[in-house]
Homo-oligomer: A and B are copies of this chain.
Amino acid sequence: MANFKPLVLDDDRLFPADPTVRAIARRLYAGIKNLPIVSPHGHTDPAWFASNANFDNATSLLLLPDHYVFRMLYSQGISLESLGIRTKDGTPVETDYRKIFHTFAKNYHLFRGTPSRIWLDSVFHDVFGLEHALNSDTADLYYDSINEQLVKPEFKPRALLDKFNIELIATTEGAVNSLKHHAALKGTGYEKRVITTFRPDDVIDADRADFLSNIKKLAEQTGQDTHSWQGYLQALRIRRQFFRDHGATATDHGHPTAKTANLSETEASSLFQLCLSGNASKEQTELFRGQMLTEMAGMSIEDGMTMQIHPGAFRNHNPSIFERFGADKGADIPSPTEFVSNLKPLLDKYGNNAALKIILFTLDETTYARELAPLAGHYPALKLGPAWWFHDSPEGMLRFRHQVTETAGFYNTVGFNDDTRAFLSIPARHDVARRIDCRFLAGLVAEHRLSEDEAHELAQQLTYQLVKQAYQLD
């Protein structure tokens, strides 16, 4: 007997069971659920919006780019090859997209209790109008129905921006990226709606295999001598301006740790030369990254860009996976992260500058109440980004609010980031954040720690105004 159970997204999902709190949460949510989406940090492909071509098929749109999805399947012994993940050396992998979708459908129970389940069900129901739960028996129905819809004009990327009520979306590009897709958007009316973000890890992290080639490219792009310290810094200034010309209002820095440094010009220059020579030790490349965070903060004061710091991921923890499939294959693991000592050199220099906006993220939740909230509740330059990556989930968001609010307040936070390459899940991800914020606020109201008027105002601000202020979007 085929298993056809209804796929229901309850109106009250993610609200607490208590009827008093739930009723307040509903009222708060009603006031914000239709606000436009502002997505100031993410990883969608700007080519989608530049070309505005229809997406291919359910598997290559929904599964192949989503490392949350295939990491879980892989953890249960399903090979990446069988999921169609491309190998670096071109060794063949599964290419039957329907078969891959079946493998996913058959194992969809693995996602019970995970945020992926929430996002995916929302996409299935709200974007594609599917009415039965996904399993082996409904896999073909899903695969066919999604593919039939993907070819329609209303499923083109720009049409989806409208359908999703996305007021603005920022992509993320490396410092030497040509930004050709953003350039292509100029004059289309989308150039203020799809903007880039300056992510210079590729020219700052001397541990990368492509560091030297990126430094060379940087020289070509800017006409600077990027093998001199001052030329290198000037080249970065020029590239920052280039990104600003393509809409960027923010930079992003994905370092292994939160280390910062404040070296003298002589020391910094020597260290840079050492990094260029290829003879720098791990400690020295780490010190250089730390120095560059401080340099970037200085340039943010000059050009007004908001600075995002995303430290603490141990990238490519699994060498077999990295060698065979490359980066971003679900093998990045969070590490313990220290902020109080690591940020001090940067903060000593710039932390009291109220014009500077530095947004901190973490994968180490132990720092919420112990380090991040106390730091953001003191330094004018610091704000706290939302719960990130593995913690971008109902429980993760609740832990963030519960552990951060009492010391940092709401106004040292910056609203939600979806941080995703899964374009179709963006409305679902923002909806989860809105529901959880309303739930948290409703708890405060029910416990008489906040009036409902104030909670309505805060719900609006957390969803919209604080994001625009923090990322200087107006």
CB pair A448 B395 closer than 8 Å: no
Task: Please report the C-alpha to C-alpha distance between residue A375 and residue B320 in the assembled complex, in whole angstroms.
Answer: 15
Chain B, residue nearest A24 (CB): B17
A residues 369-393 in Cβ contact with B at 8 Å: 369-371, 373-380, 382, 390-391, 393
Q: Min CB distance, A241 to chain B, in Å? A: 26
Residue-wise, chain A 306-323 has the 8 Å CB interface mask toward B (1 for contact) of: 000000001001111100
By a CB distance below 8 angstroms, the chain B residues around A111 are: 409
CB pair A371 B10 closer than 8 Å: no
By a CB distance below 8 angstroms, the chain B residues around A382 are: 75
Chain B, residue nearest A17 (CB): B446
CB pair A405 B453 closer than 8 Å: no
CB pair A390 B409 closer than 8 Å: no
By a CB distance below 8 angstroms, the chain B residues around A371 are: 333-335
Task: Please report the C-alpha to C-alpha distance between residue A278 and residue B411 in the assembled complex, in whole angstroms.
Answer: 45
CB pair A112 B378 closer than 8 Å: no
CB pair A17 B112 closer than 8 Å: no
Residue-wise, chain A 336-361 has the 8 Å CB interface mask toward B (1 for contact) of: 10101100100110011010000000
Task: Please report the C-alpha to C-alpha distance between residue A448 and residue B75 in the assembled complex, in whole angstroms.
Answer: 26
Residue-wise, chain A 10-33 has the 8 Å CB interface mask toward B (1 for contact) of: 101111111111000000000000
CB pair B336 A317 closer than 8 Å: no
By a CB distance below 8 angstroms, the chain B residues around A8 are: 448, 451
CB pair A114 B14 closer than 8 Å: no
CB pair A448 B351 closer than 8 Å: no
By a CB distance below 8 angstroms, the chain B residues around A317 are: 340, 344, 347, 378
CB pair A453 B5 closer than 8 Å: yes
By a CB distance below 8 angstroms, the chain B residues around A318 are: 347-348, 351-352, 378-379
Partner of A409, one of B110, B330, B335: B110
Residue-wise, chain A 430-460 has the 8 Å CB interface mask toward B (1 for contact) of: 0000000000000110111111011000100
Chain B, residue nearest A313 (CB): B374
Chain B, residue nearest A398 (CB): B402
Q: Indicate if A410 sits at the interface (CB-CB under 8 A).
A: yes
CB pair B377 A71 closer than 8 Å: yes
Task: Please report the C-alpha to C-alpha distance between residue A402 and residue B397 in the assembled complex, in whole angstroms.
Answer: 12
Please, how many residues of chain A have a CB less than 8 angstroms from a CB on the other chain?
94
CB pair B76 A411 closer than 8 Å: yes
By a CB distance below 8 angstroms, the chain B residues around A341 are: 314, 335
Q: Min CB distance, A196 to chain B, in Å? A: 28
By a CB distance below 8 angstroms, the chain B residues around A408 are: 75
Partner of A394, one of B114, B390, B406, B412: B406
Q: Indicate if A115 sits at the interface (CB-CB under 8 A).
A: yes
CB pair A407 B114 closer than 8 Å: yes
Q: Min CB distance, A429 to chain B, in Å? A: 14
Task: Please report the C-alpha to C-alpha distance between residue A320 and residue B351 in the assembled complex, in whole angstroms.
Answer: 10
Q: Indicate if A113 sits at the interface (CB-CB under 8 A).
A: yes
Q: Indicate if A208 sits at the interface (CB-CB under 8 A).
A: no
Task: Please report the C-alpha to C-alpha distance between residue A410 and residue B76 in the assembled complex, in whole angstroms.
Answer: 11
Q: Indicate if A286 sits at the interface (CB-CB under 8 A).
A: no
Q: Min CB distance, A427 to chain B, in Å? A: 17
Partner of A375, one of B13, B333, B336: B333
By a CB distance below 8 angstroms, the chain B residues around A378 are: 71, 74-75, 317-318, 330-331, 333
A residues 1-56 in Cβ contact with B at 8 Å: 5, 8-10, 12-21
- B-binding residues in A (CB < 8 A): 5, 8-10, 12-21, 71-72, 74-77, 109-115, 117-118, 133, 314, 317-321, 330-331, 333-336, 338, 340-341, 344, 347-348, 351-352, 354, 363-366, 369-371, 373-380, 382, 390-391, 393-396, 402-403, 405-412, 443-444, 446-451, 453-454, 458
Given A112-B454, A334-B371, list of 8 further CB < 8 A pairs?
Answer: A16-B446, A113-B444, A314-B341, A318-B347, A331-B378, A369-B391, A395-B402, A395-B403
A-B residue pairs in contact (CB < 8 Å), sample of 10: A5-B451, A10-B448, A12-B447, A74-B378, A75-B379, A115-B406, A118-B449, A133-B451, A330-B377, A335-B340
